[in-house]
Every structure is written in C-alpha cells, then in structure tokens.
A and B are shown apart, each in its own frame.
Chain A
Amino acid sequence: MNFKNFIMEHKQAFLVIFVAILLSPLFAIAADVVGYSEPLEKSAEHLGAEENPIYGGILPDYSVPGIDSPAGTFLAGLVGSAVTLIIMLGITMAIKGRNN
C-alpha cells in the first residue's frame, strides 16, 4: 500500500479526523468550565470508592508533559490518532494474512 495514495484516496476521512483533533482542546476547556464528571465518578463518589493509579501512561490524561494544555491536548490527539491508525492497520493486515 502506497502511503500517498492511501491519504489521497481517503482524504475526506483524514480531514474529519483532523478537524476532531483540532476541536478537542476547545471541548477540553469547555468540559473543564462545567466541571466534567462521568457517571462512573458519581457512582464512586457516592460509595466512597477511590482510584489507586498504578500507571499514568506516556501522555497522561491526553496531555504532553511540559506543554501547556490546549497545545498539549492537540498534540496528544494527533499522536493518539496516528498510533491507533497504524496499530489497527497492522492488526488487520496480520489477521488477514497473505493467503486470503
């Protein structure tokens, strides 16, 4: 598979993904303003359950350590989408195998 052809053939999909990543810092800021809290967190709070983080990740909480929040969120989104694309392409090709 030629990389340039791949992008050209699916440029609309790449554009949609890029726009979502571009918007993600705005959503992160807006969620911060209203106090983002998922139902699971409500349930945990209600019953007094506490997290016990044993691993923070390479880019913790969709941010890049040392880069301020909106730019960090954007970069984390870019890296995450690229990694997901590559891994899923790899897995699908591996399952597909050579013979079918």
Chain B
Amino acid sequence: MHIPDGFLDMNIAVVYYVLTAIVIGICIYKIKKDGIDEKRVPIAGLVAAGIFAAQMLNWPIPGGTSAHFVGGAVAAIILGPFLGCIAMTSVITIQALVFGDGGITALGTNLFSMAIVDVFVAYYIYRALSKKNTKIAAFVAGWIGITLGAINTGIATGLSSTFQYSIGTTVPIMGIWHGALGIIEGLITVSIVAYIEKNRGDILYNSNKGKTMAKGEKR
C-alpha cells in the first residue's frame, strides 16, 4: 500500500501533504491539550517499534498477491487515535526516509492512508463495537481500517495521469484485494488486542479518561 514516487500527479501529492499536515497538527494539539501520563511515553515508543517490526513480515500467499500487516488499528486501540496517528506517522516516515519504502513525493498520501484513514476509522469502529464485544470490535476495526486506507490509495492513484485517471479501476482493485487480505489484518489485530487485554489491560487507551490516558490512570 506504500505508493512509490512516480505514481501520483504532483497536484494530488501536494493536496494530500496539506491534508495530512493539518490532521497531524490537530493530533499534536489534542495530545498537548489532554496531556500524556509519564507511563504512556515508553508504551508509545514500543508500539511504534513493534509495528515497524511487524510490517517487515510479508505474508507469502501463493498465487502472487500478498501484503503485510499495517497496524493502524493496533496503534489506535492501544494509544488512542491522536497518539496512534503520530506513532503510525513515525513508522511510515522512517520507512520512506531510511528504507526507500514509499516515495518521498507520495509520503503525504501514504500517511493519509495508513496513519490517518486506517487509524481513525479503526478507532471509531472499535469504540462503537467494543461495548458489546471487544474481540469482534478489534477484528472489524483492523479489517475495515485497512480496507478504507487501501481505497484511499486507490483514489489517489486513480486520480493521477500515470494511472490514466482510471479511478473506476484502481479503487475496486485496491478495495477488493485489501478487503480480502484485510481479514488477516483483522485476525492479527484481535490476537494482539486480546493478549494485551488479558495481560496488560491497563495500557489500553480509554476514551473516558482523557484522550491519551490509559484505563489505570487518573487525570
């Protein structure tokens, strides 16, 4: 889902850079406003590092269409949407700058798909469904988050000249394939969230206790 350089028209790339910068700015503002507990700092670092490592595991699916775990839902559920967005932003920016994964011109668009759409969609799905069942909520959050992120990638490429402005082709290809592969994302998300819930439930983000706080903390 990492768009390389050369796929996007420059005006599309610029629009996404601006949108992404605005959302990241809002995230920083919200985190500052709500405050971060001292204990959240190492957890934020470890979640980002863990997502980086997990993204290196490419699932080999016979038949030639593969993907890897992205992790926006995991970041959103553990860190909340604002700090989760910042964690995904660190991972994706390092991938582009250090490893050449995802283009420099496409960075704004890639951040919008994986650090914004994936994270915020997953967060609100999880929040809505977790009242009934946290496991189903985590699965659906991982699945739909990644699928909508991929659809954004389809929109951005489909609006560009190198893709012949074929948004009617790129969106279905991205949506259907990642919709299918997203089931694996959902399963990994639910495994991680269920494990943390059982062993370290205190580190999961709780929206009732301030935006960047965890369950065990006081304001």
Contact = CB atoms under 8 A, between A and B. Distances in A.
A81 B53 contact: yes
B11 to A, nearest CB: 16
Interface of B: 1-7, 28, 31-32, 35-36, 40-42, 44-54, 56-67, 83, 86-87, 90-91, 94-101, 103-105, 150, 153-154, 157, 160, 162-164, 166, 169-170, 173-174, 177-178, 181
B94 A31 contact: no
A85 B45 contact: yes
Contacts of B49: 17, 81-82, 84-85, 88
Contacts of A86: 45
Contacts of A14: 46
A71 interface: no
Interface-central residue, B49, B100, B169, by most chain A CB under 10 Å? B49
Given A21-B56, A36-B58, A62-B99, 16 more contacts: A1-B42, A10-B42, A13-B46, A13-B50, A27-B56, A27-B58, A30-B58, A38-B65, A39-B1, A50-B6, A50-B162, A57-B98, A89-B41, A93-B41, A96-B36, A100-B32
Given A57-B97, A61-B99, A17 B157 contact: no
A50 B177 CA distance: 20
B54 to A, nearest CB: 6
Contact of B32 (A16, A55, A87, A95): A95
B54 A20 contact: yes
Contacts of A100: 32, 35-36
A58 B98 contact: yes
A39 B45 contact: no
Contacts of A10: 42, 46
B52 A84 contact: yes
A48 B132 CA distance: 46
B20 to A, nearest CB: 16
Contacts of B46: 10, 13-14, 17, 85
Given A53-B4, A83-B98, A37 B44 contact: no
B1 A40 contact: yes
